[in-house]
Amino acid sequence: MADEPGGAPQARLLARVLLFRRGELPGLAAAFLYYFCLLCSYYILRPVRDEMGVRGGVEHMQWLFTATFVAMLLAVPVFAALAARFRRSVLIPAVYGIFIACILGFWLWLRSDWGMAWGARAFFVWLSVFNLFVVSVFWSFMVDLFDDAQAARLFGAIAAGGSAGAILGPGLTAVLVQMVQPHALLPLAAGVLALTLPCMAALNRWSYRRDDGGLRGDGSEQALGGRVLEGVRAVAGSRYLLGICAFIWLYTTLATFLYFAQATIVERAFADTGDRTSVFAAMDLATNALTVGVQLFVTGRLVRRIGLGRALALVPLIVAAGFLVLAALPVLAVLVVFQVLRRSGNYAVARPGREMLFTVVPRMQKYKSKNFIDTVVYRGGDALAGWVYTALGALGLGVAGIAVVAAPLGLIWAAIGYRLGVIQGNLARQARLEVGDEPATESISA
């Protein structure tokens, strides 16, 4: 093909495996490394967060989810205001710099032994906000840089960078937590997160060179302008964005149900804090080891072969089946297998596919509306699901009974995902027709 990279046979083979085309490798490599460092940092901290949640009391966890939702409500308008004022090359590094400073601040707090219980709860809430914000900003950057056809080919490989980092992160935690207190891992995580900054600069340079070559002239480096809440209004006025909200709400509801079940089962199985942290880290390691190969070699080909709609329906169907098995056997082994399969399927297929949905919306919605959906809607689902789980428990339903309630929601989730994929494909084809570019080999069908 004319747009395949030239050079050595090894380079052409790599291009065929990873599906990149001429001029795309620098952007793909920088995005891969960016996501690698981002999720490595987060996964160093995630087992610490999960242990902090247990330390704060499983019976109080719904309050932690509610506090996270409130924190999101406060953070989203701040981000929208920054996005309206600052251009992309300033906005994204500034957001990450703030979070790096916060990690170091929590390190000082948690090592002081002052207000340890409240420090654990605050860290749980903060890291839940941090995770969604930095990942949402990353994917906003990606859907701003890559069009829908590039996303179908490259987002799986880009996501694999995150999975590779997520393999290293919990691996480091599992080893180091046996030698140091969990809070001592925070400076390491801050340093790894700081490595994302040169990756951002490289992506911006690649984007400038590409735009100067006339391949894209969309003014993507300009500040968004507009009002703080226009992203929220855009969501309310778009059936497509509301559908994405429903898809994410069902995802986070079912994930929260399983997370609460996990906390209950693991608390019963292990009394020692180090053992619990090691189990959480081992689950993260297994999840990401399974994920990375699928992302590199399967995701892009799967989406292009069966269509985005069917790809988005796969994980919800797996989740529905998993809850039925957990209802029959609510034990640690089933929980671990179910959680690993659900999370690996989400990271390998559902998450890249979900991000592809945003490649066909206007640029303002890629940042402001997407950030609102990825944070407030996501954590709102968490908060509501936490109280629903608690209410179902108060009615006498245990893990098995709640799993029976959750299974039908997985089927509804699958139907919504399929429909969103159909709409995205139609919008992508319409956009290509409007600019006179309809490559048959790049269409995204449902």
Euclidean distance between CA atoms 243 and 135, whole angstroms: 21
Give percent of the chain above pLDDT 70.
87
**Do residues 222 and 87 lie in contact, with contact meaning Cβ atoms separated by under 8 Å?**
yes
pLDDT band at 212 (very low <50, low <70, confident <90, very high): low
Predicted pLDDT at 445: 36
Q: Give CA angle at 14 (8, 16), nearest 5°.
A: 105
For 378, the 3-state DSSP assignment is helix
Choice between 62 and 402, residue whose per-residue pLDDT is larger:
402
pLDDT tens digits for 371-407?
889 888 887 887 788 888 889 888 888 888 999 999 9
Model confidence pTM above 0.85: no
**What whole-number distance in Å separates Cα of residue 100 and Cα of residue 105?**
9
pLDDT one-digit tens code per residue, 65-120: 778 888 888 888 888 888 888 888 888 999 999 999 999 998 888 777 676 667 77
Average pLDDT, the chain: 84
Domains of the chain: 17-215+224-442 (1.20.1250.20)
What average pLDDT does the segment 298-314 reach?
A: 91
How deeply is 268 buried, as exposed, middle or buried, from its count of CB atoms within 10 A (0-12, 13-18, 19+)? exposed
pLDDT reading at 53 higher than 80: no
Per residue in 187-204, pLDDT (tens digit) is 999 999 999 999 999 999
pLDDT of residue 55: 61
Helix ranges, 86-216 (H):
88-110, 116-145, 148-176, 186-194, 196-212
| Range name among 36-40, 51-55, 361-365, 436-440 with the lowest pLDDT average | 436-440
Residues 127-149: pLDDT tens digits? 888 988 899 899 999 998 988 88
DSSP-assigned letters across all residues of 226-286: S-TTHHHHHHHT-HHHHHHHHHHHHHHHHHHHHHHHHHHHHHHH---HHHHHHHHHHHHHH
